[in-house]
Structure 1
Amino acid sequence: MVTTALRWLFLISVIIITIGGNVLVCLAVGLCRRLWRLSNCFVVSLAVADLLLGLLVLPLSAVVELRNGNWPFGGTLCNVYIALDVLFCTSSILTLLAISVNRYLAISSPLNHSRIVTPRRVALAITSIWAISLAVSFLPIHMGWNTADYRVQNLDWLIGDEDKEGRYCQFEWNNNYILIYVFASFYLPLVLMCGMYLCIFRVAREQVRRIRATTPSFARLAKATIIREHKATVTLAAVLGAFVICWFPYFTFFTCMGMMEKTNPPNIIHSVVLWLGYLNSTLNPILYPAFNRDFRRAYAQLLLCRGPSQRKQSFSNISVHKLLSFIHGIGAPQTTDKQKDPANTEPEEKILPVCQGT
């Protein structure tokens, strides 16, 4: 009884945090001007993939987990569920690859980055990522490429047949297609991303050496720009590291299982590696504020956002503050803008609404 309650608590917590965290990422990028950067379009694409996973896949996976592997919704919905799972996973991998390429261009060619990475090319890249993900997820399972006899799996599985022997809702990886799929959709992008970040850190070390050799006035400007890019690189490297830790056991386990001749029933190892992979979608929204100050500020602004009545009170406080300053300043000698104390204007900025996204 206690074990069942703990499983319920864990699964529901993962689903809620995944959905809420990724909604927060999308709102932070959309409403806070400091995050209005072209590169964050890829971050939003990654958050959308994780959000859709939390909305469409995780609840069904939780149902299967709590029913000890039994799928109660029939074969057709099982195939759709599997395809969606593969879709969002593939989209995350390809988006992380695009992010690493963008980071490399931003670090290695900062002057040419804006000419290479244009809004049109970013839109084309994101569209291509989702199109490729759709192709590699829905086509194989609905064309039968993944089964031993190349027939579409679960076509004869009706609702209520889950108690029959061998009825498990999982991707049948029982032929050489699995080698091509895993290599092309996971291991190859993973090797490319790791190589890309290795090049990024080498370029970063070289840039630090060059900055120290430049004149002090230029060094301060260059250092501020490069430090900002390096912080973004560290954030996304942490996201990549979490992805590897979470998904590498999944792909390794299912590759080994897929090479066997029969479909194995779900077991404890199956559940652990599957939900470890799902945890990656939960961790991403936590990693952004942990390594990026702009995301921390955006999260704080969204979570502490005040309502319309408080905004009215804020603006009335501004008016009262100005009136008191005017009365207090009657008869006092006028000062120029340069002589004004900056502290006099600071309270006005502090009491403005914190969630102004436009």
Structure 2
Amino acid sequence: MASITKIKNKDGSTSYRVAWRVGDGKDGKRQQEYKSFASHEEARAHRRTVEKEIESRRVGGPKQQTVFGYLDGWIKEIERKAERGDISPKTAEGYANNIAIAKRSLQDQRLTRLTRSALNAAYDKMLESGKLLRDGKTGPLSKRTVHHVHSVLHNAFADAVLDRLMPENPASFAEPPKVQGKKYRRKVRDYTKDEVERQLKLAQTDKRYPPDTYLMALMLAICGPRRGELCGLAFNDSIDFEAATISIFRNVLEVKGEVVVREVPKSDASVRTISIPLALVELLKQQRKRVLETALKWGEDYSRKPLYVFPGPSGLPMHPKLITRRMDRLAIRAGIDMALVSPVHSWRHTSGSLLWAASRDIKQVQERLGHSTPQITMELYVHSAPTADEAAAEYLGTLIRKN
């Protein structure tokens, strides 16, 4: 790849010339480069450097990949992992969205020639006009979004290095925009006890709401499930009426506008069985009766396996957005200031805070909410801190209003 030639100079001295060719060879033309050194050791050292550089450019074989071609293939592999259940479909969708954003600001070029400067320029462009607006125009992306794009690109190019398609990861040296850490981010607030009472009373008495709205709000307050976990509860494998427990292991997601049922949990800690108060057991029995009556009216086409607690049309799982919309309207009609309020997640925060105030057992709260570590629970719910799970469930059961 590079050669060393001993040269006798006119003044009688000796030098060593390193020769090598550069260029991509697309037109069959490659330029010859030379460099001379006084000693053979210097020439050999330079030859090693040159050969290493040439080899790095050849990584990936004769058919050099472009940046866009590689990223498209990488996303397809991510989607295959989602189909196998190795990662969440929602995660795969997020990766695809971020790669689409990156491709609008990056210039397609040979993968091995991508530099940190090109990435930095792309990040600047995203901050100015990386967002597609409905009228066909473009607008600025937030620093946090651009940082997410950078993280996905870093993961993608790290795989390219492992596959010997790139000599090094250019994203490791790029400079994405700095964002505020979690300590300074705006947090979703809890509902106050008065706000909880107002919403539960409205859900129970207002005829504008379906009869399962009250149960839905209670489940969020008492059990603290995530939105998708609530949609995934089913009578035949999640609810144990005799033991007064619910098992959370199924998640319902929206992926590319479609409802997807995911049996693989978000994490090992997400799979959990928690106690519920007897009053909630009775309400669940009433809900099962309503669901079975609906199934009977619908006929054989009604999906009964599993028999969802909160079903959508024909017994299929309810779309997660419908729960958000219903809880949003409930909070607004209850006269709640919606600043820093998430219609569903504020219920989960409230459940964690109430559990902490009642038990002061951080491990119990962590396991009940399905957090992967106690640190996450501490950061979210320890504002102001022991009892068994059954006692905590009974405390939360006092939220249930008597008919």
Give the TM-score band, short-chain normalised: under 0.3
Report which structure shows greater RCO (CA 8 Å, sep ≥6): 1
**Which has more helix, going by share of residues?**
1
Task: Give the strand-richer structure, 1 or 2.
Answer: 2
- TM-score (structure 1 length as normaliser): 0.24
What is the TM-score normalised by the length of structure 2? 0.22
Bigger Rg over Cα: 2
